[in-house]
Amino acid sequence: MIREARLEIVAGPLAELGEGPCWDSRDGLLLWVDILAGRVIRYDPADGSYDSIDIGQSVGAVAPRLAGGLVLAVRDGFAFLDTGAQAMRLVAAVETDRQGNRMNDGKCDRAGRFFAGTVGENNQVAAGTLYRLDADHRVTQIIGGVTISNGIGWSPDERLMYYVDSHTRRVDVLDYDPSTGSVDHRRPFVKLPSGTGLPDGLTVDAEGFVWVAIWDGAAVHRYRPDGRLDGVIPVPVSKVTSCTFGGPNLDVLYVTTAADVLPTSGRRAPGSGALFACHVRTTGQPANCFNG
């Protein structure tokens, strides 16, 4: 399955720091963000069209809302976006006392809670936190002492949550209570050897295999539920940021990347910052909407 996968560039904008791909099944669109440019990008694979919405500040993650529009993790906290009016409304401020911090990657669980974490200025060690936004807009701290809060996902039965703090070089797994949104017993799931890159965004497929984007590793790794490496999809650029499944059958793997500069010429590496896609012989889990 994975050996036959070949990624191709999807026509569209080149991001400075592409992240957080999410399939919106309501409209048949792929959503993702350009964090540093402060843009939410929407791609329609049916006709190849795309558009982008300027948020006015950095934006680390996006997900659909059951009530319509989108929920965002932006620099200042959690926000709602009316895609028709292209208007953003902050609903819960986060870390207003830490001016250098910003929100990063995030995702919703099946109950519609939105999890997203922060990263400190210049990747300051242990300056970030993973938060949960509930339907009533209450914000709860889930994991503290985080350096680069990144990928998050759940096993198909939602009894396990996978989480990445890239600074640790690990993908961790935690016991998850889907009735309350609480976590317990954090332990290593995978640790990347030195020199192979850092774990970044991730997604979990319908079989419970964990797909991890490898920053500075030019690859997406697929891990078995027991943590063993199952396969590698090469990516033709180094800074691979995240991945998700989309398309009507959830059998298209979408991969986001970041801009990379060639040391020899000082120019952007070809394809860096692009969105990539390929058909695979497995399916993902549907993206969850924020229920609030």
CA angle 158, 164, 165 (to 5 degrees): 145
- For 167, phi then psi, to 5°, come to -60, -30
- Cβ atoms < 10 Å from Cβ of 226: 8
CA angle 73, 75, 80 (to 5 degrees): 40
Question: CA-to-CA distance for 285 and 154, rounded, in angstroms?
Answer: 9
Residue matched to tokens 């390929």 = 278
Compute the Cα dihedral for 181, 185, 187, 189 and give only its sign. negative
Q: Report residue 211 as tokens.
A: 């797909």
Question: Cβ distance 55 to 39 under 8 Å?
Answer: yes
Does 47 qualify as catalytic in the annotation?
no
Question: CA-to-CA distance for 237 and 257, rounded, in angstroms?
Answer: 8
Marked catalytic residue, from 24, 34, 105, 200:
200
CA distance to 14, 46, 207, 244, 245, per residue, from 41 (Å): 11, 16, 29, 15, 16
Q: State the Cα torsion 30-31-32-33 to the nearest 10°.
A: 150
Q: Burial code of 138-151, b = ≥16 C-beta within 10 A, e = fewer?
A: ebeebbeebbbbbb
The sheet that has 18-24: what strands, in order across it? 18-24, 29-34, 39-44, 49-54
> Known catalytic residues?
200
